[in-house]
Structure 1
Amino acid sequence: MFRGIHLLAMDAKGRIKIPTRHLGQVTKICSGQMVMSIHPDDPCLVLYPLKDWQQLELKIGELPSLNIHTKKLSRKLIGHAIDCELDKIGRILIPSSHKNYANLNNKVILSGQGKSFEIWDERAWKDQIEKIERLSNQTEVPQEISKLSL
């Protein structure tokens, strides 16, 4: 499971280094083979180990293909997917098209999301957290979350 938030520097070529904390796990799970795509709803990228990405693709493929929400999800998530492999020192290359989509600058946030990562521009991440905080204060907490014991 990928957990935690990491502030990373993106180099001039658009590479980021997977934190040491996760590097061994990524190597073990997928031999460094990962898939990157754009997030269908948020201005960030998603990064999955290959086997978890393949499972997600299968689930999307089982959805009704003529449904507009399925089309949106498929076109954004699968249509923008690229294979990426860790280099010898544990970096991945973010293509310029993906950097542009997420408005990535030299400081990025790598956020563990369990089976995947999100990649955010540092400022956009802070804005998103503030936005979620404001919105969550305006709506009632769902029963499922209220039942969760921490």
Structure 2
Amino acid sequence: MTDEPVEPDSSAPVVPPLLLGTYNPKIDAKGRMAIPAKMRAQLGEGMVMARGQERCVYLLPQSEFRRIAAQIQRVSVGNKAARQYLRVFLSGAVDQDTDKQGRVVVPQMLREYADLGDDIVVIGVGTRAEIWNRKAWEQYLSDNEPEYSDIADDVLPDLEF
């Protein structure tokens, strides 16, 4: 047995960063939001903001955004639902880079879409983060937490805790 470093397996799939947690940054008067430090490293250089589901804003690493866009585009152009989703998703997407203080500008159209004032919540949702109006997030949790245990069997049928 040697003490030489082992080369990583280049055929192994690249696992995207796992974005977790809940953070409470503010949006300043110029529309800037500080990306939580831990998420900043996981999102990497260049990220994309886009319209999310349930009136939130998605914050995605560039690679994850490209993966999702490519997956949607593989659906037949003849599929009306796919065309509609692609139009809404891509027309509301904006490339972003953080400034020296780790902030990004949340574009006005996305702030309006998600009703984002200065009181927001940023949550990690695995391969993306979501930016929510704090009150809307609290209402979402309140509405959905009672069903959290009930839906586990449907969402995770083979997973045992």
TM-score tier by shorter-chain length is: 0.7 to 0.9
**What is the DSSP-based 3-state SS (H/G/I as helix, E as strand, rest coil) of the residue aligned with 1:114?**
coil
More strand by share: 1
2:158 aligned to which of 136, 147, 150? 147
2:137 aligned to which of 111, 125, 129? 125
**Which whole-Å CA distance do the structure 1 matches of 2:151 and 2:99 have between them?**
45
State the aligned residue count: 143
Q: CA RMSD in A?
A: 1.8
Deviations 1:26-57 (A, max 9, x none): 33xxx2x0111111x31110011111111111
The equivalent residue for 2:117 is: 105
Give the gaps of 5 or more residues in structure 1.
Answer: none
The equivalent residue for 1:86 is: 98
Instruction: Tell me if 1:66 matches 2:78.
Output: yes
In the TM superposition, residue 107 of structure 1 has moved relative to its aligned partner by: 1.2
**Which whole-Å CA distance do the structure 2 matches of 1:103 and 1:117 have between them?**
17
**Which whole-Å CA distance do the structure 2 matches of 1:142 and 1:65 have between them?**
34
**What is the DSSP-based 3-state SS (H/G/I as helix, E as strand, rest coil) of the residue aligned with 1:51?**
helix
Instruction: Tell me if 1:38 matches 2:51.
Output: yes
Give the gaps of 5 or more residues in structure 2.
Answer: 1-17
In the TM superposition, residue 7 of structure 1 has moved relative to its aligned partner by: 1.1
Provide TM-score, normalisation by structure 2: 0.81
Range with greater deviation from structure 2 (42-51 or 139-148): 139-148
